[in-house]
Structure 1
Amino acid sequence: MPRAGAEGGGSLPSVAAATSVPGVGERLQRQIPAASRQVVAVYGDGRDSATSTVVFYAKRGAAWERVRTWPAHNGKKGWTAEHRLGDNRSPVGVFTLTAAAGVLDDPGTRLPYTQSEDYAAPQWWDEAHWHDFDYVIAIDYNRVKGAPPDDAEQPLGEERGGGIWLHLDHGSGTSACVSLSRAAMEYLLRTLDPAGHPVVVMGDRAALKN
């Protein structure tokens, strides 16, 4: 079974006979579309932890195969089932992945991709954050599916927050996004396929099991 060695990390659920996504309970499992064949699973280390492990699973027949594993960061205050604007927690749930963008040119993704300097982080941010948005993949939480990642429409209302993305890591927790290495983002961008109905399943390990 292919696995990432150089970037792998953290203790992960067993993948033996994985006819459901490992470590994900029945409630969230039911929210994964039947047509989905690609899952980005974010296993948070704890409810109040900013560190997590991301696993990319591909469905082969009836089984979910673990393909790649990377260390990651999430909201600096951890996770919540009721995300609110400014709470610095990432939302727990299952969300589709339908659009990407970045400061850099399209690396070869099948997702709709918007290249623009407008995605650049403000220069008044700490220098460690300047490349956060070189590549982004929109997480479809409180946004219009398929719209560019910076689309401002928030169907649940502004108080529920938004603009939650997969993006490049800066070495610490985020406002609510999930951040990964450049290599991980390039892999996901080149691998995620709208025909596979990709989703992200994300939360702290305890919440994912519920």
Structure 2
Amino acid sequence: MNGAARRAVVAAATLASLLTALTALTACEGAGHGGAGAGTGADAAPTRPAAADPARIPGLGDRLQRRIPSDTRQVVAVYGEGRNSADSTVVLYTKHGDTWHRARDWAAHNGKKGWTTDHHEGDNRSPVGVFTLSDAGGVLPDPGAKLPYTRSDSFAAPRWWAKSYWHDFDYVIAIDYNRVKGTPPNDPTRPEGRHKGGGIWLHLDHGSGTSACISLSRPAMEYLLRRLDPERHPVVVMGDRAQLKSRS
């Protein structure tokens, strides 16, 4: 056998060995993911999710992504579980350079009837959109808020409400929907009229849906109050997951 023929035989044997090893490896990975039979057909090599774009807030389509101001470095994202659901998850994102980082997340509640893109007074739905966060306050003393904080007993929930609601407004952060920025959260002024609703806040949770606000645990509210910084131009992006993903 000449040299060329010998090299051809060696190459063929090497290729056969590699194919055998690859087949065994694929079968092993398939068994590890799903047990017997998982290593065949379309399930043999499930694809990994695409990496998130670090320059975007996860779960947002172009429509809402474009509405985040260019100088914003803090985003409170409220991911509603469904259009008619009162359950949601709140995530705080902070921006360093061009990259968004997930800081903390919490279980939360939104309007008891879910979400709407056309909020009106009394509809018991939270408005979908991007809104600035500029003022805070509550019944309790300032816990170290960076946002302007107004402490007043006037925030207290009426005592004719169910007792589980009495501490809702111990801490609040105003969502700048149909309100005058730079005023206490309980300022009643409604620039677009009362029919458009207002007084929509981040506030303490009572275990169920709200009239339109977003409610969180006391530790979550204290964390946000101590970290949301007007110099970082914080906003809230809120809505059910389907609306948040909408591109137009």
Tell me, yes or no, whether TM beats 0.5.
yes
Following superposition, the deviation at residue 16 of structure 1 comes to: 3.5
Query: Structure 1, residues 5-43: CA drift from partner, whole Å, max 9, x if none?
Result: xxxxxxxx9873421110011111111000000000000
Following superposition, the deviation at residue 60 of structure 1 comes to: 1.3
TM-score (norm 2): 0.78
Following superposition, the deviation at residue 178 of structure 1 comes to: 0.1
Q: 1:31 aligns with which of 43, 48, 67?
A: 67
| % identical aligned pairs | 70
More helix by share: 2
Question: 2:192 corresponds to which residue?
Answer: 156
Question: 2:237 corresponds to which residue?
Answer: 201
Question: 1:165 corresponds to which residue?
Answer: 201
Structure 2: gaps of 5 or more residues: 1-48
Q: Does the C-alpha gap of structure 1 residues 15 and 166 become closer, same or farther in structure 2, counting only changes over 3 Å? A: farther
Question: 1:126 corresponds to which residue?
Answer: 162
Paired with 1:202 and 1:15, the residues of 2 have a C-alpha distance of 23
For the Cα contact (< 8 Å) 1:15–1:22, is it kept in 2?
no
Amino acid at match of 1:56: L
Following superposition, the deviation at residue 156 of structure 1 comes to: 1.1
Paired with 1:73 and 1:146, the residues of 2 have a C-alpha distance of 26
Q: Does the C-alpha gap of structure 1 residues 15 and 155 become closer, same or farther in structure 2, counting only changes over 3 Å? A: farther
| Aligned ranges 1:7-46 → 2 under 5 Å | 16-46=52-82
Paired with 1:113 and 1:180, the residues of 2 have a C-alpha distance of 18
For the Cα contact (< 8 Å) 1:47–1:204, is it kept in 2?
yes
- Secondary structure in structure 2 of the residue aligned to 1:27: helix
- Secondary structure in structure 1 of the residue aligned to 2:183: coil
- Secondary structure in structure 2 of the residue aligned to 1:131: coil
Question: 1:114 corresponds to which residue?
Answer: 150
Paired with 1:46 and 1:208, the residues of 2 have a C-alpha distance of 11
Structure 1: gaps of 5 or more residues: 1-12
Paired with 1:149 and 1:139, the residues of 2 have a C-alpha distance of 8
- Secondary structure in structure 2 of the residue aligned to 1:99: strand
Root-mean-square deviation over aligned CA pairs: 1.2
Question: 1:101 corresponds to which residue?
Answer: 137
- Secondary structure in structure 2 of the residue aligned to 1:132: coil
1:180 equivalent in alignment to 2:216: yes
Question: 1:144 corresponds to which residue?
Answer: 180
Paired with 1:202 and 1:195, the residues of 2 have a C-alpha distance of 21
For the Cα contact (< 8 Å) 1:37–1:58, is it kept in 2?
yes
Query: Structure 1, residues 19-70: CA drift from partner, whole Å, max 9, x if none?
Result: 1110011111111000000000000000000000000000011111000000
For the Cα contact (< 8 Å) 1:15–1:66, is it kept in 2?
no
TM-score (norm 1): 0.92
Q: 2:92 aligns with which of 50, 56, 68?
A: 56
1:190 equivalent in alignment to 2:226: yes
